[in-house]
Amino acid sequence: MVYTEPKLDEVNVLASDADWAWPLALREIFRPRGVNLLIARGAGQFVNIIQRKRIHTTIVDMDSETDGLATIKIIRMDYPLTPCLLLTRQASERMLNRALQLDVFSVIDKPVDMGILRQQLNRLFLKKYKSDIFKK
């Protein structure tokens, strides 16, 4: 008997909007894998989108117009099992402790190394969904 990885029907990743080329860079990782990228600006939009669509993970920018950890805290209230990645320019010990308390899967330094982001997405999807969609 040969073991095969389960297939996810539709993969949706929800990410913070940015005033730089962030969404375009993400599409370069996601499009070849058939992953849908949804963009939210602020905690309210994150929650509205999660209520309407199955989201497999969120990527929250700590340095966006609102506090990224506050956004994750709001997501956690109604969707405690949704995996979150956090992007930040400065990872202080206090911020890392708060991220740990909120069960953030990974904190990634900015500017984002897209190779590291892909590796973290691969770890997350293997652990949570038993899927290697982000494998090289």
Domain 11-129 belongs in CATH node 2.60.40.1120: no
What confidence score (pLDDT) does residue 24 get? 87
Cis peptide before 111 (omega within 30 of 0): yes
What confidence score (pLDDT) does residue 7 get? 60
Global pTM exceeds 0.85:
yes
How far apart CA 69 and CA 109 sit, in angstroms, is 15
Looking at this protein, which amino acid is placed at residue 15? A
Q: What is the per-residue burial (b if ≥16 Cβ within 10 Å, else e) of 77-105? A: eeeeebbbbbbbeebeeebeebbeebebb
What confidence score (pLDDT) does residue 64 get? 74
How far apart CA 57 and CA 72 sit, in angstroms, is 11
Q: What is the residue-level pLDDT of the chain in tens, covering all 136 positions? A: 443 444 667 999 999 987 778 888 899 899 999 999 999 988 899 999 999 999 999 999 988 766 889 999 999 999 999 999 999 998 899 999 999 999 999 999 999 999 999 999 999 999 999 999 999 7
Closest by CA to 15, choosing from 56, 62, 61, 53, is 61
**What are the sequence ranges of the domains in the chain?**
11-129
Q: Strands 35-40 and 57-61: what pairing? A: unpaired
